[in-house]
Structures are given as structure tokens and as C-alpha cells.
């Protein structure tokens, strides 16, 4: 049970999302278009469309190489149709809310799916996301489990009632999130991983297990660090062994993880850590599996306690990681901003 929970919580997470942004009229600012649409795989842009170019284009080499012209032609037609759909619906919402059309209003939508990948490479659906946002506020969202629309604003209730009555719309939305979106995610992940392995020689992780000072004198922080690996998919666990009884530590033991983070040389790192008693007689080890390089290693902690030199070493490492942490923080802020604008795929041009 504990190992299953660990795998569930610390599995590699993947996402495929599409974000659409439409303004009520052209915004005269550089780089801002009346309508934009973009696809993101694991928060990296893979395709793009805007109302100026009016063409869906690839943003990754593997998208351009692996997907046929027909895919881009149909994608362009779909984006153009959605552009018109958004234009009609912004006008409906402006009238419904008795707003003035002289002001700039924005309707946004994000939909997609999130999945977990276990250490065997199995990718399973975790959740779908399908939400609308109007003028910066949550407007309407689809509850995938109950298969109903949830209104986040008073003005969204007419839309909720209208869309709840369209069974085909709800069936289509659920099917897209749980099946079609997942199929595309797996395809895109396969293409991107294959190209990564062609462009970059897969690199095995270097694994370190060490202790650093904790806040209290009676405890220390035991860390498992894997770094320098490529591609980024990796499995890690910390095990405790006492008198021949071994178990994998979980969040219930206070285990924490950094998740997979980029290094400055295009490789990746991940570190898991847990606070333990200095007097703990148990043995600890770190297991790391990196499928791309066929690495499956278990490294034991040598029970060396932290001293001043070790503290300085870790401090130096922390300083070196400042740039990485800042980059990750910026990425998280951008992601949160994107998540604020969660939105739904229009079907048969059903208006709000």
C-alpha cells in the first residue's frame, strides 16, 4: 500500500494543454493578437496560431517532421473556426453582462489532460481540465467525474443550463479529455523522446546519497541526488532497512522531492530527502531507475554525518543552484497564470 502511494505521488507527470485567448477587438500592442491559440506538451509550446498569420504552425522540429501536411491544414481550419466562435461569444457575454463594447474584454479557454507515468513507462490518465475564463475571472468549468458544467459566475448559469441539456456535448467533452487527448499525448511524447535521443546521446544519472544538518541537533537531512541525466524521465526511492526488514519511505515519513529540474547543461536532476534521527540504527539506500540508459542502481548511505566541510559543500551547491531555482520559480508563476485561464472545446458552434 505504501509503495503504491509513493508511486502515485512521485510518478513523472505529463500534460497536454491547449490555451485560447480572444480579445473583443484588436489590441494595439506588439506581440498581442486579437486571437491566439497554442498547444503545450509538458508546458513546452508545440504549436501556435494567431489571427495575424491565420495558420497553425509547429513550434518543435519533431512536430514539423513527424506530422503530415494534412494535420496542419485541418488544424488551421479548426483554429479559424474557433476564432469566429470566440468572436461571436464575446459579443454575447458583453451583452449579457450589460458591458460597453468600447472597453477591451477577453475570453479564454484551456482544455487538456494530465497523466502519470510510472517507472515501467506506463502512462495513465490522472485528470482532465476544461475551463473558461472571462475578463480574468473563472467563468465555467466541466466536472469530468460528474459530467456536468459548473458555473463560477452568475453570468455563467445560462450557459451551464444550456450546455447541461446537450448530452452529446458532455459525452464528447468527457471522451476527448479521457481518450483522444491521452492518445495525442502519448503520440507526442513518443515523437519528442525519439528526437531527444537522436539529438542528444542519452546520459546516465550520477547518484549521490549524503546527509546535511537539520534544524535540530538530534536530526539530519538524508538526501538522494540524481543528476546529469537525459532524457528527464526517472524513478527514485529511498529505502530504510532494519534487521532485514526493508521498506520504501513515503510522504507519511516526511519524504519530500524536488521533482525533475533542468541543469544548465541541458541535462536534468532530481533530489528526494527525508529528516531522520542521528541515532537511527537503520541502514538507508537510494534506488534510481533511468530506463533510457538502462540504469537501475541502489546506492547505500555510508552513515557519514555532516561536518563543517560538508555544510560548506552543500552551501556552495545551493548558491550554484540559485539561477535554476529562479528559473523554476518564474516557470511556476507563468504556469499559475496559465492555469488561471482554464477553459472548453466548442462543438457544433454551440454558443454561450
pLDDT for 273 beyond 50: yes
Q: How confident is the model at residue 322 (pLDDT cuts 50, 70, 90)?
A: very low
Residues 189 and 231 placed together within one structural domain of the fold = no
Element (H, E) at 192: helix 181-199
Whether this prediction's pTM lies above 0.85 is answered by no
Is residue 280 a part of any domain in this protein?
yes
Q: How confident is the model at residue 266 (pLDDT cuts 50, 70, 90)?
A: confident
What is the distance between the alpha carbons of residues 343 and 108, in angstroms, rounded to a whole number? 6
Element (H, E) at 169: helix 167-175
CATH number for 90: 3.30.500.10
The closest alpha carbon to 345, from 177, 219, 201, 229, belongs to 177
pLDDT for 297 beyond 60: yes
CB 64 within 8 A of CB 72: no
Percentage of the residues of the chain whose pLDDT score is greater than 70: 84
Please report how the helices 308-320 and 322-340 are oriented relative to each other, as an axis angle in degrees rounded to 10.
Answer: 50
295-300 sheet: strands from edge to edge: 245-248, 235-242, 283-290, 295-300
**pLDDT of res. 323:** 33
Residues 68 and 105 placed together within one structural domain of the fold = yes
The closest alpha carbon to 264, from 324, 313, 332, 207, belongs to 324
Is residue 300 a part of any domain in this protein?
yes
Residues 85 and 124 placed together within one structural domain of the fold = yes
217-219-220 Cα angle (round to 5): 105
Residues 109 and 66 placed together within one structural domain of the fold = yes
Mean pLDDT of 282-298: 94
Position with higher pLDDT, 6 vs 213: 213
Is residue 291 a part of any domain in this protein?
yes
CATH number for 223: 2.60.40.10
For 34-57, give one letter per residue: b (16+ CB within 10 A) or e: bbbbbbbbbeeebbbbbbeeeebe
Query: pLDDT tens for residues 112-130?
Result: 999 999 888 899 999 999 9
Q: How confident is the model at residue 346 (pLDDT cuts 50, 70, 90)?
A: very low
Is residue 326 a part of any domain in this protein?
no
Residues 211 and 278 placed together within one structural domain of the fold = yes
Is residue 349 a part of any domain in this protein?
no
Residues 218 and 148 placed together within one structural domain of the fold = no
Is residue 288 a part of any domain in this protein?
yes
CB 267 within 8 A of CB 227: yes
What sign does the dihedral 233-71-34-20 (CA atoms) show? negative
Residues 110 and 9 placed together within one structural domain of the fold = yes
Residues 33 and 155 placed together within one structural domain of the fold = yes
Residues 32 and 161 placed together within one structural domain of the fold = yes
Residues 146 and 225 placed together within one structural domain of the fold = no
252-247-311 Cα angle (round to 5): 70
Count of domains observed in the chain: 2
What is the distance between the alpha carbons of residues 113 and 127, in angstroms, rounded to a whole number? 6
What is the distance between the alpha carbons of residues 50 and 33, in angstroms, rounded to a whole number? 6
Query: pLDDT tens for residues 40-96?
Result: 999 889 999 999 999 999 999 899 989 999 999 999 999 999 999 999 999 999 999
Residues 173 and 210 placed together within one structural domain of the fold = no
CA-based diameter of the chain, in Å? Answer: 75
**pLDDT of res. 113:** 97
**pLDDT of res. 7:** 47
Domain extent, residue 263, equals 206-320
CB 101 within 8 A of CB 90: no
**pLDDT of res. 9:** 52
Is residue 80 a part of any domain in this protein?
yes
Position with higher pLDDT, 347 vs 267: 267
Residues 130 and 230 placed together within one structural domain of the fold = no
What is the distance between the alpha carbons of residues 151 and 192, in angstroms, rounded to a whole number? 37
What is the distance between the alpha carbons of residues 188 and 60, in angstroms, rounded to a whole number? 11
Those residues with Cβ within 8 angstroms of residue 123's Cβ, 6 or more apart along the chain or in another chain: 14, 115, 116, 117, 182, 185, 186, 189
Is residue 70 a part of any domain in this protein?
yes
**pLDDT of res. 200:** 62
Mean pLDDT of 160-175: 95
Amino acid at each position: 500500500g505504501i509503495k503504491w502511494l509513493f508511486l502515485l505521488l512521485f510518478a513523472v507527470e505529463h500534460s497536454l494543454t491547449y490555451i485560447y485567448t480572444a480579445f473583443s477587438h484588436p489590441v494595439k500592442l506588439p506581440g498581442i493578437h486579437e486571437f491566439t491559440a497554442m498547444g503545450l506538451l509538458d508546458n513546452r509550446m508545440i504549436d501556435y496560431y494567431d489571427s495575424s498569420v491565420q495558420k497553425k504552425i509547429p513550434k518543435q522540429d519533431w512536430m514539423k517532421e513527424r506530422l503530415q501536411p494534412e494535420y496542419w491544414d485541418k488544424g488551421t481550419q479548426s483554429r479559424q473556426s474557433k476564432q469566429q466562435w470566440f468572436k461571436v461569444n464575446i459579443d454575447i457575454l458583453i451583452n449579457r453582462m450589460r458591458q460597453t463594447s468600447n472597453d477591451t474584454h477577453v475570453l479564454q479557454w484551456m482544455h487538456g489532460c494530465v497523466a502519470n507515468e510510472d517507472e515501467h513507462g506506463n502512462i495513465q490518465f490522472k485528470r482532465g481540465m476544461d475551463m473558461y475564463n472571462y475578463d480574468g475571472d473563472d467563468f465555467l468549468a466541466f466536472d469530468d467525474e460528474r459530467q456536468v458544467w459548473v458555473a463560477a459566475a452568475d453570468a455563467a448559469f445560462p450557459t451551464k443550463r444550456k450546455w447541461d441539456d446537450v448530452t452529446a456535448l458532455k459525452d464528447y467533452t468527457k471522451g476527448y479529455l479521457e481518450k483522444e487527448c491521452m492518445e495525442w499525448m502519448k503520440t507526442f511524447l513518443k515523437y519528442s523522446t525519439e528526437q531527444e535521443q537522436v539529438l542528444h546521446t542519452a546520459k546516465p544519472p550520477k547518484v549521490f546519497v549524503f546527509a546535511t544538518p537539520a534544524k535540530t541537533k538530534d536530526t539530519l537531512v538524508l538526501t538522494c541526488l540524481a543528476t546529469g541525466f537525459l532524457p528527464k524521465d526517472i524513478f527514485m526511492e529511498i529505502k530504510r532497512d532494519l534487521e532485514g526488514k526493508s521498506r520504501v519511505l513515503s510522504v507519511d515519513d516526511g519524504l519530500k522531492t524536488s521533482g525533475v529540474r533542468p541543469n544548465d547543461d541541458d541535462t536534468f536532476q532530481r533530489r528526494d530527502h527525508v529528516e531522520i534521527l542521528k541515532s537511527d540504527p537503520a541502514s538507508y539506500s537510494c534506488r534510481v531507475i533511468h530506463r533510457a540508459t538502462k540504469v537501475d542502481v541502489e546506492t547505500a548511505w555510508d552513515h557519514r554525518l555532516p561536518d563543517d566541510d560538508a555544510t560548506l559543500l552543500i552551501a556552495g551547491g545551493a548558491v550554484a543552484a540559485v539561477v535554476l531555482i529562479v528559473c523554476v520559480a518564474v516557470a511556476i508563476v507563468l504556469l499559475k497564470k496559465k492555469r488561471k485561464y482554464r477553459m472548453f472545446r466548442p462543438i457544433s458552434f454551440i454558443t454561450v
